[in-house]
Chains A and B, each alone.
Chain A
Amino acid sequence: MHWLKSLNASEQVALLFVVLFGFLMLLTVGLFLNSLRERVDEEARRASELTWERVRRDLRAAWIGGCMFWVAWISGPLGATLLFALFSFLALREFITLVHTQRSDHRTLIVAFFVLLPVQYMICGTRFFDLFTVFLPVYGFLALPIVSALTGDPQRFLERNAKIQWGVMVCVYGLSHAPALLLLDIPGNTGRGAFLLFFLVMVVAASQIAQEIATRTLRRRPVARQISRSFSMRAWWIGTVTGAVAGLLLYWITPFKAGQALAMAFLTSGAAGFGGLVMKALKKDAGVLYWGNRSSITGAVGLLDRIAVLCFAAPVLFHSVRWYFQLPLGYR
Chain B
Amino acid sequence: MTPAAFTGQLLAFIARLITGAQGHWKGCPPKAEQRIYIANHQSHFDLVLIWAAFPHELRAQTRAIAARDYWTKSALRRWLTTEVFNAIYVSRTRANPDEDPLEPLAEALANGDSLVIFPEGTRSSKGNPMPFKSGIYHLAEQFPHVQLIPTWIDNVQRVMPKGEVVPVPILCTVTFGAPIQLREGETKADFLCRAREAVMEQRPDPTLVGRLVEAD
| Chain A residues within CB distance 8 Å of chain B | 89, 92-94, 96-97, 101, 103, 106, 109-110, 113-114, 228-230, 280, 287-290, 293, 295-301
A49–B173 Cα gap in the complex (Å)? Answer: 31
A289 touches B169 (CB 8 A): no
Residue B1 at the A interface, CB < 8 A? no
Interface of A is mostly: loop
B181: Cβ under 8 A from any A Cβ? no
Count of interface residues, chain B, beta-carbon cutoff 8 Å: 27
Which 7 A-B residue pairs are closest in the complex by CB-CB distance? A299-B22, A298-B171, A93-B169, A97-B171, A109-B168, A299-B173, A297-B204
Interface centre among B22, B169, B212, B214 (most CB of A within 10 A): B169
| Among candidates A295, A299, A301, residue contacting B212 with C-beta atoms closer than 8 Å | A295
Q: Which of B20, B169, B205, B215 contacts A301 (CB 8 A)?
A: B20
Cβ-based interface call for B76 (8 A): no
Residues from chain A with a CB closer than 8 A to the CB of B22 are: 296, 299
Please, which residues of chain B bring their CB within 8 A of the CB of A103?
158, 161
Q: Knowing A106-B164, A299-B172 touch, does A97 contact B155 (C-beta < 8 A)?
A: yes
12 pairs from A and B in contact (CB 8 Å cutoff): A89-B17, A93-B169, A96-B170, A97-B155, A113-B169, A229-B214, A296-B173, A297-B173, A297-B209, A298-B20, A298-B170, A299-B173
Partner of B172, one of A110, A228, A295, A298: A298
Contacts of A290 in B (CB 8 A): 215
* Distance, CA A325 to CA B18, complexed state (A): 40
Select one of B17, B164, B209, B216 contacting A293, CB under 8 A.
B209
Apart from the given pairs A94-B171, A97-B171, 18 other A-B contacts in the complex at a CB distance below 8 Å: A93-B18, A93-B20, A93-B171, A97-B170, A110-B168, A113-B169, A228-B216, A287-B209, A289-B209, A289-B214, A295-B208, A295-B209, A296-B173, A298-B154, A298-B155, A298-B172, A298-B173, A301-B20
CB <8 Å contact, B208 and A280:
no
CB distance from A150 to the nearest CB of B (A): 14
B168 engages A113 (CB within 8 Å): yes
**What string of 1s and 0s marks CB contacts (under 8 Å) between B153-190 and chain A?**
01100100100101011111100000000000000000
Shortest distance between the CB of B143 and any CB in chain A (Å)? 32
Question: How many angstroms from the CA of A65 to the CA of B173 in the assembled complex?
Answer: 26
Closest chain B residue to A104, Cβ basis: B161
CA distance A17 to B208 in the complex (A): 43
Are B169 and A96 in contact, with the CB atoms below 8 A? yes
B127 contacts partner chain A, Cβ-Cβ < 8 Å: no
Binding site for A on B (CB under 8 A): 17-18, 20, 22, 24, 154-155, 158, 161, 164, 166, 168-173, 204-206, 208-210, 212, 214-216
Complex interface: chain A residues within 8 A of B208 (CB): 295, 297
Nearest-neighbour CB distance to chain B for A90, whole angstroms, equals 9
Q: CB within 8 A of B216: which of A97, A229, A287, A298?
A: A229
Q: Which residues of B contact A293 (CB under 8 A)?
A: 209, 212
**Is A289 in contact with B215, judged by CB distance below 8 angstroms?**
yes
Which residues of chain B come closer than 8 Å to A101, judged between CB atoms?
158
Minimal Cβ-Cβ distance residue in A for B206: A297
Min CB distance A117 to B, Å, is 10
Give Cα distance in the complex from A106 to B171, angstroms.
15
Counting chain B CB atoms within 10 Å of each CB, the highest count among A109, A228, A229 belongs to A109
A303 → B minimal CB distance (Å): 11
**Is there an interface contact between A289 and B216, defined as CB atoms closer than 8 Å?**
yes
Q: Which of B204, B209, B214, B215 has the most CB of A within 10 A?
A: B209
Interface centre among A109, A290, A295, A298 (most CB of B within 10 A): A298
A106 to B210, CA, bound (A): 26
**Residue contact B209 to A93, C-beta cutoff 8 Å:** no
Across-interface contacts of A229 in B (CB, < 8 A)? 214, 216
How far is the CB of B49 from the nearest CB of chain A, in Å? 12
Chain A residue nearest to B213 in the complex (CB): A289
CA A92 to CA B161, docked complex, whole Å: 19
Tell me the nearest residue of chain B to A293, going by C-beta: B209
Question: B216–A280 contact, CB under 8 A?
Answer: yes
Query: Which B residue sits closest to A107, measured CB to CB?
Result: B164
**Bound complex: CA A300 to CA B171 (Å):** 6
What residue in chain B is nearest A229 (Cβ atoms)?
A: B216
> In whole angstroms, what is the CA distance A94 to B171 when docked?
7
Give the contacting residue for B161; candidates A96, A106, A280, A298; CB below 8 A: A106
